[in-house]
Amino acid sequence: MVNAMRIAVAGLGTVGAATAALLRRNAPILSQRAGRRLELVAVSSRDRRKNREIDLSGVEWVEDAEALAARPDIDIVVETIGGSEGIARALVTAALRNGKHVVTANKALVALHGQELAELAATRNVALAFEAAVAGGIPVLKTLREGLAANRVYEIHGILNGTSNFILTEMRETGRAFDDVLAEAQRLGYAEADPSFDVDGIDTAHKLAILTALAFGRQVDFASISIEGIRSIDPTDIAFASELGYRIKLLAIARQTERGVEQRVHPCMVPIKAPIAAAEGVFNAVVAAGDAVDKVLLVGRGAGGGPTASAIVADLVDIASGRIAPSFGIDPRHLLPPEPADIGERVGAYYLRLKVEDRPGVVADIAAILRAQGSSLESVVLGGRSQGLPVPLLLTTHDARERDMRQAVAHIAALPSVTETPCLIRIEGF
Ligand code: HSE
């Protein structure tokens, strides 16, 4: 057998610790598959005393993670520290510069600096692999890069954040409050260090930027993504969606249009029968649509130690076997520049939740505004009457152009009879 592949793991949080444990637990089968041993040589993390319940006997503990990048006895650096800047970026850059392979779960880093890092890896002839950065345990990057290599991919949509899917599912199934479910997601190791990244759609957008680059052969373009999170969703929306035959999901959508590539992240109502609606709790799902294959659906656990370590170790096996793929599927110097399309051209149906004064003519005023902007009402539900207090008004519309709909909502919000900021949710057919 050839020499062992010598690995260092920087960052022993949920994911780093699970990676170290998996390397040990499945060592014999990993050696068979890679044709050489995968040897964990060193680890680095902030707090040495923390009980991680993993066996690190024979593994060197290094205080300074960045020092791993310069060690001649290390072939691959696994970065599970997180964050787009600071030590994670410095470590990855230094390791690549020193000719070491890098495997990372860091979606923020790849979404913001993926192009320069992929170019660095290409010039040094080493791997920069990040399967774990998108959709946890689902091998979606490999599927796009290899399994769907024959296709012109024209659309990707997916649920890419386990924490927010967990929150939306629990709120619907148990009626639990948002904060309570978020705290549980943190306990289970699903949420980001800063959970606003999860609930505000930023984590989903990081992952979408990576998927878009791979699917459409373009440079990562996080800055152009239109992003909305799930904070404005309330139990009324979830219940009304169920009544109408929908689920509310935080979706990432990328489409090749005639105007360029549309990238957006926002809550959506999707039909309960749509395959993607079946992904509940911490599960993620991705649909890739290609000109030859039609639609492919991938579903699996999108967060947590085991699933994420599964993706990291798969990358390690590939590298140890000599299967070194370009990070974004093609030589990074040949990726096309971004070509963002304005999402104002989206055409689709909408759900609108309003709080209005309970008096005659209110619905007629709203209908008139929508009509003037080229839209029309499909259904209207007025919440229970309550002694002169404002009541919820729930509407769905027929297809309208996003730009017109936003204009209509701005006019509606300015009506004296509308007492709260409206909540607008897109309805996607799929
Ligand atoms: N916070 C992320 C999620 C972790 O909940 O999906 C996996 O990237």
Total count of domains within the chain: 3
Model pLDDT for residues 391-409, shown as the tens digit of each residue: 999 999 999 999 999 999 9
Is residue 188 located within the same domain as residue 318? Answer: no
Asked, for residue 114, whether it belongs to a domain, the answer is: yes
Rg (the chain; Cα; Å): 24
Residue 218 in contact with residue 339, Cβ under 8 Å? Answer: yes
User: What is the best residue among 198, 265, 284 to mutate for testing ligand 1's pocket, by most ligand atoms within 8 Å of CB?
Assistant: 198
Domain of residue 12: give its range: 2-137+309-334
Is residue 183 located within the same domain as residue 275? Answer: yes
Model pLDDT for residues 139-190, shown as the tens digit of each residue: 999 999 999 999 999 999 999 999 999 999 999 999 888 999 999 999 999 9
For residue 192 and ligand 1, the question of a CB distance below 6 A is answered with yes
The domain spanning residue 364 has which CATH number? Answer: 3.30.70.260
Model pLDDT for residues 76-104, shown as the tens digit of each residue: 999 999 999 999 999 999 999 999 999 99
Q: How far is CA 238 from the centre of its chain?
A: 21
Is residue 77 located within the same domain as residue 102? Answer: yes
Is residue 93 located within the same domain as residue 242? Answer: no
For residue 198 and ligand 1, the question of a CB distance below 6 A is answered with yes
Cα of 165 to ligand 1 centre, how many Å? Answer: 10
User: What is the best residue among 190, 207, 251, 310 to mutate for testing ligand 1's pocket, by most ligand atoms within 8 Å of CB?
Assistant: 190
* b/e sequence 355-371, b meaning 16+ C-beta within 10 Å: bbebeeebbebbbebbe
Is residue 262 located within the same domain as residue 329? Answer: no
Output the pLDDT for position 430. 82
Percentage of residues in the chain having pLDDT higher than 70: 99
The angle that helices 362-372 and 402-413 make with each other, rounded to 10 degrees, is 150
For residue 241 and ligand 1, the question of a CB distance below 6 A is answered with no
Residue 254 in contact with residue 339, Cβ under 8 Å? Answer: no
Residue 337 in contact with residue 218, Cβ under 8 Å? Answer: yes
Cα 43 to Cα 115: distance, rounded to the nearest angstrom: 27
For the CA of 204, the nearest atom of ligand 1: 6
For the CA of 190, the nearest atom of ligand 1: 5
Asked, for residue 62, whether it belongs to a domain, the answer is: yes
For residue 203 and ligand 1, the question of a CB distance below 6 A is answered with yes
Output the pLDDT for position 385. 66
Is residue 191 located within the same domain as residue 88? Answer: no
Is residue 244 located within the same domain as residue 273? Answer: yes
Is residue 251 located within the same domain as residue 166? Answer: yes
For residue 136 and ligand 1, the question of a CB distance below 6 A is answered with yes
The set of catalytic residues is 207
Is residue 84 located within the same domain as residue 181? Answer: no
Is residue 152 located within the same domain as residue 297? Answer: yes
Mean pLDDT of 115-131: 98
Is residue 15 located within the same domain as residue 103? Answer: yes
Is residue 203 located within the same domain as residue 325? Answer: no
Residue 288 in contact with residue 156, Cβ under 8 Å? Answer: yes
Asked, for residue 339, whether it belongs to a domain, the answer is: no
Cα 424 to Cα 237: distance, rounded to the nearest angstrom: 10
The domain spanning residue 184 has which CATH number? Answer: 3.30.360.10
For residue 167 and ligand 1, the question of a CB distance below 6 A is answered with no
For the CA of 161, the nearest atom of ligand 1: 6
